[in-house]
Amino acid sequence: MKLRIHLYLLLLVVAGMPFAILAQSSSAVRSDDDKKTYRSAMEEADQKIYAEVKAHSELMKNLEYLTTSIGARLTGSKQMQQASDWTLKRFHDYGVESHLESTDIAHAYYRGADTAEIVSPVAHLVGIRAMGWSKSTPGEVSGKVVALSSIDDLPKYKGKLAGAIVLTSKPAEIPSDEAENAYDAVITPARGLGRPQGGFGERIRIMRAVAAEQPAAILLDSGKTDNLFNMGGAARYQPSDAPQAFIAHEDYSLIYRLAQAGPVTMKINLTGTFSPGPVPASITVGEIRGSQFPEERVIIGGHLDSWDLGQGALDNGTGSMAVLEAARTLKALGWKPKRTITFILFTGEEQGGIGVDTFMKNHAAEIPKMDAALVHDTGTGRVFSIALEDLYETAPLMTEVYEPLREVFDLQPLSTRYFGSSDHVAFLRAGVPSYFCIQKPAHYREAHHSQTDTFDKVIPDEINEGAALLAAWAWNVSEMPQALPHHATTVRPAGQ
């Protein structure tokens, strides 16, 4: 009941009555006529933006080239650097000023041909994929399976895991197909992978504690149906402390149940390798210079990097190509925004955000003048809302920005949920008003980090609409009489 009361009060706040208390925004002193003039102008502009995308979009052509001719784009790989160079050229082709901003990562990772099998009490071949930046095994290794159920099991296995093949949790609980949106379908997925009991922190503690025991290998449940794999890992682009790999949920469940009944023996061979030293990782940054407040930035972004089991289509070729299409559209219209509109294709989002961290470091002096950021990062499905990310002090102005979008794109109200978990979080921590697109699932949970993240899953009309929405949101923010208010900075929690 307390939760219901809290949500009811929260909805009252977002509905508008206490906005004057929430934020002493200059929006409150603007006349109704001024607000109506802004809304009318933005609706007209947003309709023209959408019409330009419908008539001349190059999003699908660009996305097909990215996913088919370049392919998967692991951070630090030749394909990722090729994608950065190619997108730089595409921005230039559209007449958008652009450049690369680069950093180095410690090592690139090159996936090998991994194998696994149950030897006893039954013989069964097991599909396996090493985690990103997993150290290899010293050839094929054999070991007894130890199946942990939670972090509470660790004390009784202290000193007993050397040479073992360790399952770090119970089998995942696969969610229903009734997830509210793409984010729910992925970020609140199977326990044991996406959000284990106790949270990500518990999974990290288990992995570190098990690795310290020098096991033969650590296995994780992919947490997906239909024998789909998952992917994760990075360890600051250094080889992991122990060999680590994902296996499909069906095999993980089988091994776990066998281990509950008696001894199980497996053979595993992980063969990934690393670059001998640092390699470059680049982000692509384009901009349309502001005519009135050029020092202020309105930012839209998506990450160009991907995991490497599929083609990186839905995660996040769709988002990054939507950003590129938004840039093409605004440049083609020939308009001069009041504020500078910046388009960023990030790298390293999948391994902790090294790309966005590079941008924030390079532009630290400009952070106070970053008006707002919006990220598109959950696949091909239609955007139906934007998350406020707990920035209720921005709600009065964001409502003005958003209402024309609702009219043109038939959106639901602004979401009061906090989503996080993408490149916009770095902007949030720095005090910049930063938001997240909420999308229809459109099979994102299945494709996310798996071998089925391929070009054929893309829904052209829905992702083109997403590109138009990004461009329209950026335009609406650029033309607002007031800048959105910043908030207090926060410190990144340890281990994140």
Checking if the pLDDT of 468 tops 90, the result is yes
Both tokens of 70, joined, read 């370049």
pLDDT of amino acid 180: 57
Topology of the domain covering 19-107+278-478:
Aminopeptidase (3.40.630)
Q: Which residue type does 454 have?
A: T
- Average pLDDT on 187-200 reads 45
Q: Which residue type does 457 have?
A: K
Split at pLDDT 50, 70, 90, the class of 490 is confident
pLDDT of amino acid 351: 94
Cβ atoms of 141 and 161 closer than 8 Å: no
Both tokens of 42, joined, read 């933005």
Question: Which of 199, 196, 238 lies closest to 220 in space, CA to CA?
Answer: 196
pLDDT of amino acid 174: 87
- Average pLDDT on 297-320 reads 98
Cβ atoms of 457 and 313 closer than 8 Å: yes
Checking if the pLDDT of 486 tops 50, the result is yes
Distance CA 44, CA 25 (A): 25
Q: Where are the alpha helices (DSSP H) in 345-479?
A: 354-362, 395-409, 424-429, 444-447, 460-478
350 secondary structure, DSSP code: G
pLDDT of amino acid 491: 65
Phi and psi dihedrals of 115, rounded to 5? -140, 155
Using the structure block, give the residue that is written with the tokens 């009555």: 17
Q: Which residue type does 284 have?
A: T
Q: What is the pLDDT of residues 378-422, one digit of tens each?
A: 999 999 999 999 999 999 999 999 999 999 999 999 999 898 889
pLDDT of amino acid 199: 59
pLDDT of amino acid 189: 38
pLDDT of amino acid 187: 52
Split at pLDDT 50, 70, 90, the class of 235 is confident
Q: What is the pLDDT of residues 236-260, one digit of tens each?
A: 999 999 999 999 999 999 999 999 9
Cβ atoms of 369 and 428 closer than 8 Å: no
Largest Cα–Cα distance of the chain, in whole Å? Answer: 77
Task: Domain ranges for the chain, please list them.
Answer: 19-107+278-478, 109-274
pLDDT of amino acid 183: 60
Instruction: Please name the residues in contact with 143: beta carbons below 8 A apart, sequence gap of 6 or more.
Output: 163, 164, 165, 215, 216, 217, 265, 266, 268
pLDDT of amino acid 175: 76
Question: Which of 13, 5, 47, 66 lies closest to 469 in space, CA to CA?
Answer: 47
Q: What is the pLDDT of residues 344-380, one digit of tens each?
A: 999 999 999 999 999 999 999 999 999 999 999 999 9
Q: What is the pLDDT of residues 217-229, one digit of tens each?
A: 999 999 999 999 9
Split at pLDDT 50, 70, 90, the class of 30 is confident
Q: How many CB atoms lie within 10 A of CB 33?
A: 8
Instruction: Please name the residues in contact with 331: beta carbons below 8 A apart, sequence gap of 6 or more.
Output: 94, 95, 96, 288
Distance CA 49, CA 36 (A): 20
393 secondary structure, DSSP code: G
- Average pLDDT on 322-343 reads 98
pLDDT of amino acid 11: 39
pLDDT of amino acid 204: 81
- Average pLDDT on 68-96 reads 98
Question: Which of 18, 3, 9 lies closest to 395 in space, CA to CA?
Answer: 18
Cβ atoms of 292 and 435 closer than 8 Å: no
Instruction: Please name the residues in contact with 490: beta carbons below 8 A apart, sequence gap of 6 or more.
Output: 428, 429
Both tokens of 121, joined, read 């009490």
- Average pLDDT on 428-435 reads 98
Rounded to the nearest integer, the mean pLDDT of the chain is 90
Q: What is the pLDDT of residues 182-193, one digit of tens each?
A: 666 555 433 333
pLDDT of amino acid 492: 56
- Average pLDDT on 57-75 reads 98
Checking if the pLDDT of 495 tops 60, the result is no
Question: Which of 396, 380, 395 lies closest to 454 in space, CA to CA?
Answer: 380
3-state DSSP call for residue 343? strand
- Average pLDDT on 202-207 reads 82
Cβ atoms of 66 and 315 closer than 8 Å: no
Checking if the pLDDT of 318 tops 90, the result is yes
CATH 3.40.50.1000 correct for 109-274? no
